[in-house]
Amino acid sequence: MTHWKDILQESITTYSALQKHLDCNNTALKEVIANFPMRINPYFLNLIKTPDDPLWKQAVPDSAELEDSICIEDPLGEENLSPVPNLVHRYPDRALFLVTNQCAMYCRFCTRKRKVGTERMHISDDTIRAGFDYLRKTPEIKDVLISGGDPLLLEDEVLENLLLTLRSIPTIEIIRIGTRVPCTLPMRITKRLVDILKKFHPLFINTHFNHPDEITPEAAIACALLADGGIPLGCQTVLLKGVNDNPSIILDLMRALLRIRVKPYYLFQADLTRGTNHFRTPTDRGITIIRHLIGKISGMAIPTFALDAPGGKGKIPLSPDFILARGENLVFNSYCGEVCTYPEAGEAF
């Protein structure tokens, strides 16, 4: 089997390679790529079937990226919430720790588009050390999310050392890794990697699939290896215009995720990230999609539709409303639309 690094080496990163491999002729894309890096590795390239299909849209630059006058660079106020560079402390008991600026593919809709894959995201031994120091002196942080970039692009040894240091901080209970590698470069998930990861339980992985066509035999093998290592797998899907913004695609995706032992966790409303406005859908689209799923498929397969509030105010669930009236009786709709009544128990909370 080809080593994952050799596959990554063969990625399309320039306009001329894009022209050659995808017959893509639009010189405006040169400027897009100069602003926001491109990386389409041969594995993901192979999944693209036709121009502008849902996988193409996620991977291939679009001139709309430079025509976005609505969105902002850092919509979640991450830089303001970083006590040290690349560590975001937004919630009382958990923190987001960015440990690399590299990804197996640069998703065109990325929330951290302002810096991912570029020198604008400066990560060094010094920034990592500063992150660990902050975690050590902030014992209220019980849950650390390692992200980036994609942490699983780090070498096995580098990742292992990072996890060893995290586990040497006794106040940290939960380690989570956010990675898109099971979807974009599944051959990165090796037995050797899993043998390292499983030494650091409780360790969770949240991965990121957006379309049923991404659930390939290779992705299934990667997730099986991780699940067999006792690592609970969640998925953080982003709702994207022209990619997955309809109920039947999301329904198929959520079912397919459960089949490969990945539990749908969040379905995100697209963030207000500059260069991604062409991907945004009205919030009502997501709520309607969730409404469509409820009752039709297992609750196990239904993610929370969430909006990450602008300015770093945190994730908020946007849920379909089933309640018609409150009072002595709760009146509500069943999943298929019948009106139901439930007598209240008396004293309110």
Positions in the binding site for ligand SF4 (CB under 6 A): 103, 106-107, 110, 112, 116, 148-150, 180
Rounded Cα distance between 106 and 207, Å, is 15
Residue 7 Cβ, how far from ligand SF4 at the closest point, in Å? Answer: 16
Sign of CA dihedral 235, 141, 110, 2: negative
253 and 211 Cβ atoms separated by less than 8 Å = yes
Residue 175 Cβ, how far from ligand SF4 at the closest point, in Å? Answer: 18
The reply on whether position 112 binds ligand PLP by CB under 6 A is no
With CB under 6 A as the rule, give the number of residues binding ligand PLP: 7
68 and 275 Cβ atoms separated by less than 8 Å = yes
Which of 94, 114, 188, 278 contacts ligand PLP by CB under 6 A? Answer: 94
180 is an active site residue: no
The reply on whether position 187 binds ligand PLP by CB under 6 A is no
Residue 240 Cβ, how far from ligand SF4 at the closest point, in Å? Answer: 11
User: What length does the chain have?
Assistant: 349
223 is an active site residue: no
Task: Select from 18-26, 35-43, 87-95, 131-139 the region that touches ligand PLP (CB under 6 A).
Answer: 87-95
For residue 307, what are the contacts with CB-CB under 8 A and spacing of at least 6? 268, 269, 283, 315, 316, 318
The reply on whether position 289 binds ligand PLP by CB under 6 A is no
Residue 62 Cβ, how far from ligand PLP at the closest point, in Å? Answer: 25
Strand partners, 343: 329
110 is an active site residue: yes
306 and 315 Cβ atoms separated by less than 8 Å = yes
Considering CB distances under 5 to 8 angstroms, the limit depending on partner class, which of ligand SF4, ligand PLP, none binds residue 94? ligand PLP
Residue 83 Cβ, how far from ligand SF4 at the closest point, in Å? Answer: 21
The reply on whether position 180 binds ligand PLP by CB under 6 A is no
Rounded Cα distance between 303 and 306, Å, is 9
Task: Select from 88-96, 152-160, 251-259, 280-288 the region that touches ligand PLP (CB under 6 A).
Answer: 88-96
Rounded Cα distance between 70 and 83, Å, is 28
With residue 61 as reference, give the H or E element that holds it: none
The reply on whether position 91 binds ligand PLP by CB under 6 A is yes
For 155-190, give one letter per residue: b (16+ CB within 10 A) or e.
eeeebbebbeebeeeeebeebbbbbbbbbbbbbbbe
Task: Using only the alpha carbons of the chain, give its radius of gyration.
Answer: 21
Give catalytic residue positions.
90-91, 94, 103, 107, 110, 112, 271, 308, 315
